[in-house]
Amino acid sequence: MKFGTLDVLQVALFILSLAVLTPIIGSFMAKVFSGEKHFMKSFLGKTEELIYRVCRINPAEEMNWKEYTFALLAFNFAGFILLLLFQEVQQILPFNPQHLPAVSWDLAINTAVSFVTNTNWQSYAGETTMSNFVQMVGLTVQNFLSAATGIVVILPFIRGIIRKTTDDIGNFWVDVTRTTLYILLPLSVILAIILVGQGTVQTLTHYHTVKAITGQGQVIPVGPAASQIAIKQLGSNGGGFFNANGAHPFENPTPLTDFLEMLSILLIASGLVYTYGRLIGSMKQALVIWSVMLVLFVSMLSVSLYSEWTFHPAYASTPTMEGKETRFGITNSVLWEVATTSASNGSVNAMHDSMTPLSGMVALVNMMTGEVIFGGVGAGLYGMFHFILLTVFIAGLMVGRTPEYLGKKIEAYEVKMAVIGVVAPSAAILVFTAIGVITRGGISSLNNSGPHGFSEILYAFTSAAANNGSAFAGLNTNTVFYNLSQSAGMVIGRYSVIVPVLAISGSLARKKSIPPSPGTFPTDSPLFGFLLIGIIIIISALTFFPALALGPIVEHFLMLAGKTF
């Protein structure tokens, strides 16, 4: 097994495809958000109007930031309650061919929070816990709606920048409806049908029981998987239909599905950067942000690939294939790992827990940056806004001018909100991990000891607070302790970033717009990109260096020394 030309080509093809699709999807989304005419309207325009009428929504109405925030929270809360309810009564609902019982209360809360916050952390195994009804009508729905929620948050921010001295930052209901109908739904339909064509299952029948040629029996679980997998990849959700997620042959049967699913992880997040540039009227700004994301992505990918390909444990003398699928091999497993953790997707096609320490650290760091390397749909970009504002603030000071971003002054209020958005998830990670590693409730769930056990707990809370959802899955998190602490982490990680962004959007919209001058620090220059990378790395590194030292870093040294636990 050697890293060869084919590996390089696959990575290159992946990045190239992303670069080519970004402007296409990006400009389409810009049309949708700005209410322009686009071809999807002729299919679903009537549906959009009907939804407004049924829900008594006045699409022309504008909201201020508080109304927008409240609408968003109310919408998410309604989704949470509904999903909780479905899980608790699934035994009496239809589409339950395996007669699965009601889900335990703490797991149900965890799952509901997890899917509503776009985390899709799964403390359960889908095929043995959730009925087809819950998967379809509960989980799939939240896959759409949590993704739409994430995406729409960038719209008030954009309006905050382009509008002047107003309280109006848009209409949440309209934004979320259009995003779901015109962007998520069509893309999901296309991807789902391709997936089925490659072998992903999509059926409502009960599981197959077969007698193998060896005479052994095997139960083959099936279900409406493709429809859910399409949106879980596109919407940076990541919650698998089956326990093994993207490693499961029914979720991800061929290298082609693997490629498309990986591409889907980053597609919308990457396209949104283009959309952003289009809507604020400066593609250069978007290009800098996109380049920053790409540079970080490629750097992280390089570290992870290097670590995975060069590590040969003494007892095997080959790179490790533990937790990886033969059809994907090492390169595609690592590529997916880096994509899914940088993008807050959380689906996996190989088990991160079994990867090398440095590769695991890449996954951790990707999440610890607050998921801004492309990031979750919307979430990556709005998380990036926080970093941009902090960078602009520090850069502005260094050039001797009260900082401004795209003509809007960045003052105490914006700085306050931006630091909340950056600091709160980090705080949640550190505090919950600290509780996890010293309480019995935390440690008893471990299946690895030594520094790797520490990494497992750190990963669990990092994944929750970053709304990623991937896991060092050796940790059994279906316990009351983890279900509830994770839920708290997911809520903090989601809303302590969203609400400050919306508050900033409101504040920006109220401001005047300052025309740029040579004294304005340009935010569309490579220099700004460089500084932004510096700020992202230094803030995350300074926060988490001690934790990383005691987890993956020390494990790396120990692994090289051949030590096992």
In sequence order, which residues have a C-beta less than 8 Å from that of residue 107 and are 6 or more positions away? Answer: 87, 123, 124, 129, 478, 483
Residue found by looking up tokens 């990918």 in the block = 301
User: Is residue 558 a contact point for other proteins (CB under 8 A)?
Assistant: yes
Contact window for other proteins (CB under 8 A) among 283-291, 345-353, 370-378, 479-487: 345-353
Sole binder of other proteins in the list 19, 43, 89, 208 (CB under 8 A): 208
Interface with other proteins (CB under 8 A), residue from 37, 99, 211, 440? 211
Among 34, 218, 310, 444, the residue binding other proteins under the rule CB under 8 A is 218
Return the structure tokens found at 527.
Answer: 């220099």
Q: Which of 57, 85, 283, 303 binds other proteins (CB under 8 A)?
A: 57
Q: Does 64 bind other proteins (CB under 8 A)?
A: no
Closest to other proteins by CB, 180 vs 485, is 180
Q: Which of residues 239, 277, 346, 357 is near other proteins by CB under 8 A? A: 357
Given 199, 280, 298, 484, the residue binding other proteins (CB under 8 A): 199
Residue 77 touching other proteins (CB under 8 A): yes
501-520 binders of other proteins (CB under 8 A): 512-515, 517-520
- Measured CA to CA, the distance from residue 260 to residue 264 in angstroms comes to 6
Distance of CA 119 to CAs 165, 276, 452, Å?
35, 23, 23
Task: Say how far apart CA 120 and CA 378 lie, in whole Å.
Answer: 16
Rounded to whole angstroms, the maximal C-alpha distance in the chain is 79
* Cα distances (Å, whole numbers) of residue 425 to 27, 69, 116, 300, 489: 31, 19, 17, 21, 8
- Find the binder of other proteins among 248, 278, 386, 494 (CB under 8 A): 248
Interface with other proteins (CB under 8 A), residue from 65, 75, 157, 182 = 75
**Segment interacting with other proteins, rule: CB under 8 A, options 25-33, 69-77, 298-306, 365-373:** 69-77
Compute the distance between CA of residue 509 and CA of residue 162 in angstroms, rounded to an integer: 8
Q: Cα–Cα distance between 216 and 344 in angstroms, integer?
A: 40
504 near 418, Cβ under 8 Å? Answer: yes
Can you spell out the DSSP letters for 207-218? PEEEE-TTS-EE
Find the binder of other proteins among 45, 59, 249, 441 (CB under 8 A).
249
Binding footprint of other proteins, residue count (CB under 8 A): 194
Residues 261-290 that bind other proteins (CB under 8 A): none
Binding mask 518-557 for other proteins (x = CB under 8 A): xxxxx--x-x---x--x---xx-xxxxxxx-xx--xxx-x
Asked if 440 interacts with other proteins (CB under 8 A), we say no
Q: Which of 22, 29, 30, 79 binds other proteins (CB under 8 A)?
A: 79
Stretch that binds other proteins, among 2-10, 21-29, 274-282, 488-496 (CB under 8 A): 2-10
Of 106 and 175, the one with the shorter C-beta distance to other proteins is 175
Nearest CA to 246 out of 383, 385, 351 is that of 351
Of the candidate residues 8, 34, 322, 444, the single one contacting other proteins (CB under 8 A):
322
Name the minimum Å distance from CB 31 to other proteins. 21
Phi first, then psi: give them for residue 478, nearest 5 degrees: -85, 60
